[in-house]
């Protein structure tokens, strides 16, 4: 009976649970109106987004629902490349990517790439022969700078009396001529072009034969007065005159020597004087030259020259080590006051030249006359040997030359040459 009054049981669950069991009522379509183009763009964007999600997850929407991998559509990648106008989000995205990639490519090309080096085959050109830095001196044959041969030759008359010894500058001359001036006293004509000693002298007066020897070298001529014949020849022959009487400022007198044995000069001072007179160069033909070839067994190691008395006679001794001849005069070594060294020329030339007496000088001594224009026997000593030949001077202004028995030039070795005028029979030599 009691059961008749028991309350009836209510269904389990809430109202929400009952509502969940009811079928879902479709929602009304809330999309707004779209043009065909907008609809297509939306579809493309939806497809791109879906495709991107598929790519990122490796699954399609259907695969997600069915947990299966559907076959890939061959048209999916073409949909990505399909562009529309006006540009939408996809087009702007693609444009931005293209710009970004293009800028990156330009940056890499301009900042990180290096041009490919083109290697060309090397062309080997032959090196030109180096130009010689020296040339033979016209005066001495020694190697000198080419400018040396453009200098004027300067001739200086140097005294040889007892009061004049030792002289200054004789050892530095390129060529020296020796002969008797008067009264048996010898005198020297020293020629300079390669060198310029600062002290040369003592200087004395001119003589005709020295003038003619100097003219063969187109030399300016430094002297202190001269014999009447010499002064006349200076004018008539057009000598480049540097007479101390007319150019006293270019000479000086030494307090260590008594007059008239105290007149000196410097070659550089004479060169300045020559420049003022226009004597800027000398045109002449130097001696023929050859290479030195010292004799292993000298045949002319000792040479004796008789010039006048015993105080002026000369002796030469050959020195193989230097291939030169040490000079002695009056029985003693002849030295240069500038260097205190014995004079030692490379070449000794003995010219047989007729000598005669000229006019009397102021002291009552006879001036010497030498017939230096013409020809005669010559003995050339060099390399420890002697060559016999002929000297020739065709005119007062021509150069003196030496030829052998075959009428070929006797070539001299480079260096100082000392030329002496002697009478016949006044020469001797031996090994």
Residue-wise pLDDT tens digits, 349-388: 999 999 998 887 777 788 899 999 999 999 999 999 999 9
Q: Say whether pLDDT at 15 is over 70.
A: no
Strands 427-430 and 175-182 come out as unpaired
How far is residue 359's CA from residue 207's CA, in Å, rounded to a whole number? 12
What pLDDT score does 83 carry?
59
Contacts of 189 (CB under 8 A, 6+ apart): 155, 156, 157, 158, 176, 177, 210, 213, 214
Residue 124 domain-assigned (yes or no): no
Q: Kindly state the DSSP code that residue 412 receives in the 8-state scheme.
A: B
What pLDDT score does 249 carry?
96
Say if residue 148 is in the same domain as residue 198.
Answer: yes
What pLDDT score does 272 carry?
97
Say if residue 105 is in the same domain as residue 150.
Answer: no
What is the mean pLDDT of the segment spanning 73-86? 57
How far is residue 133's CA from residue 180's CA, in Å, rounded to a whole number? 41
How far is residue 11's CA from residue 155's CA, in Å, rounded to a whole number? 157
What pLDDT score does 365 carry?
81
What is the mean pLDDT of the segment spanning 41-51? 46
Asked if residues 242 and 271 have their Cβ atoms less than 8 Å apart, the reply is no
What pLDDT score does 366 carry?
84
How far is residue 189's CA from residue 387's CA, in Å, rounded to a whole number? 24
What pLDDT score does 52 carry?
41
For the ranges 21-30, 118-127, 199-208, 283-292, the lowest mean pLDDT is seen at 21-30
Q: Say whether pLDDT at 68 is over 70.
A: no
Say if residue 329 is in the same domain as residue 206.
Answer: no
What pLDDT score does 125 carry?
79
Tokens representing residue 93 in the block: 């995205």
Say if residue 325 is in the same domain as residue 375.
Answer: yes
Contacts of 394 (CB under 8 A, 6+ apart): 373
Residue 273 domain-assigned (yes or no): yes
Q: At what angle do helices 228-236 and 208-215 cross, to 10 degrees?
A: 30
Say if residue 165 is in the same domain as residue 232.
Answer: yes
Residue 385 domain-assigned (yes or no): yes
Q: Say whether pLDDT at 48 is over 80.
A: no
Domain of residue 159, residue span: 136-277
Residue 119 domain-assigned (yes or no): no
Residue 21 domain-assigned (yes or no): no
| Final residue in a domain of this structure, among 94, 111, 128 | 111
Nearest to 219, CA basis, from 288, 165, 283, 131: 283
Q: What is the DSSP string of 10-52?
A: PPSS-HHHHHHHSPPPPPP--PPP--HHHHHHHHHHHHHHHHH
Cα angle value 334/144/400 (rounded, 5°): 60
Q: How many domains does the chain have?
A: 3
Q: Say whether pLDDT at 3 is over 70.
A: no
Q: Say whether pLDDT at 88 is over 80.
A: no
Contacts of 275 (CB under 8 A, 6+ apart): none
How far is residue 268's CA from residue 266's CA, in Å, rounded to a whole number? 5
Say if residue 60 is in the same domain as residue 106.
Answer: yes
| Average pLDDT over all residues of the chain | 84
What pLDDT score does 362 carry?
76
Say if residue 265 is in the same domain as residue 338.
Answer: no
Q: Say whether pLDDT at 422 is over 70.
A: yes
Q: Say whether pLDDT at 254 is over 50.
A: yes
Say if residue 178 is in the same domain as residue 97.
Answer: no
Say if residue 177 is in the same domain as residue 310.
Answer: no
What is the mean pLDDT of the segment spanning 72-77? 51
Query: Residue 169 CB: number of other CB atoms within 10 A?
Result: 27
Nearest to 152, CA basis, from 237, 277, 247: 277
Residue 20 domain-assigned (yes or no): no
Say if residue 270 is in the same domain as residue 316.
Answer: no
Say if residue 151 is in the same domain as residue 267.
Answer: yes
Say if residue 311 is in the same domain as residue 378.
Answer: yes
Tokens representing residue 368 in the block: 């010497």
pLDDT by residue (tens digit) across 264-306?
Answer: 999 999 999 999 999 999 999 999 999 999 999 999 999 999 9
How far is residue 289's CA from residue 409's CA, in Å, rounded to a whole number? 9
Residue 240 domain-assigned (yes or no): yes
Asked if residues 410 and 389 have their Cβ atoms less than 8 Å apart, the reply is yes
Which CATH number is 249's domain given?
Answer: 3.50.90.10
Measured torsion, CA atoms of residues 247, 253, 259, 264, in degrees rounded to the nearest 10: -70
Nearest to 200, CA basis, from 230, 237, 174: 174
Residue 330 domain-assigned (yes or no): yes
Measured torsion, CA atoms of residues 143, 147, 152, 157, in degrees rounded to the nearest 10: -40
pTM of the model: 0.71
């Amino acid at each position: 009976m009691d059961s008749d009054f028991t309350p009836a049981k209510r269904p389990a669950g809430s109202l929400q649970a009952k509502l969940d069991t009811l079928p879902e009522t479709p929602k009304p379509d809330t999309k707004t109106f779209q043009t065909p183009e907008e609809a297509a763009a939306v579809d493309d964007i939806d497809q791109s987004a879906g495709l991107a999600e598929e790519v990122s997850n490796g699954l399609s929407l259907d695969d997600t629902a069915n947990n299966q991998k559907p076959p890939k559509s061959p048209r999916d990648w073409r949909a990505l490349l399909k562009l529309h106008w006006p540009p939408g989000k996809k087009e702007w995205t693609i444009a931005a990517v293209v710009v970004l990639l293009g800028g990156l490519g330009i940056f890499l090309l301009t900042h990180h790439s290096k041009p490919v080096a083109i290697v060309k085959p090397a062309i080997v050109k032959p090196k030109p022969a180096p130009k010689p830095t020296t040339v033979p001196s016209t005066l001495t044959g020694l190697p000198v700078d080419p400018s040396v041969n453009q200098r004027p030759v300067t001739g200086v008359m140097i005294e040889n009396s007892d009061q004049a010894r030792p002289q200054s500058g004789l050892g530095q001359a390129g060529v020296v001529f020796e002969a008797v001036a008067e009264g048996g006293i010898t005198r020297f004509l020293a020629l300079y072009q390669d060198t310029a000693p600062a002290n040369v002298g003592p200087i004395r007066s001119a003589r005709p034969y020295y003038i003619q020897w100097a003219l063969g070298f187109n030399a300016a001529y430094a002297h202190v007065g001269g014999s009447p014949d010499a002064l006349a020849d200076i004018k008539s022959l057009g000598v480049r005159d540097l007479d101390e009487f007319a150019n006293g400022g270019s000479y000086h007198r030494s307090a260590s020597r008594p007059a008239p044995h105290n007149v000196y000069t410097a070659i550089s001072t004479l060169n300045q004087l020559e420049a003022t007179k226009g004597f800027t160069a000398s045109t002449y033909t130097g001696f023929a030259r050859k290479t030195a070839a010292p004799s292993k067994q000298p045949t002319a190691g000792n040479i004796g020259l008789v010039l006048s008395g015993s105080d002026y006679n000369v002796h030469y001794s050959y020195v193989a080590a230097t291939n030169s001849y040490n000079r002695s005069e009056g029985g003693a070594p002849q030295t240069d006051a500038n260097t205190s060294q014995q004079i030692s020329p490379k070449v000794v030339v003995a010219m047989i030249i007729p000598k005669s007496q000229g006019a009397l000088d102021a002291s009552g001594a006879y001036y010497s006359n030498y017939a230096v224009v013409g020809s005669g026997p010559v003995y050339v000593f060099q390399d420890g040997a002697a060559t016999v030949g002929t000297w020739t001077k065709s005119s007062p202004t021509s150069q003196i030359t030496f030829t052998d028995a075959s009428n070929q030039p006797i070539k001299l070795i480079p260096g100082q040459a000392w030329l002496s005028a002697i009478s016949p029979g006044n020469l001797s030599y031996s090994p």
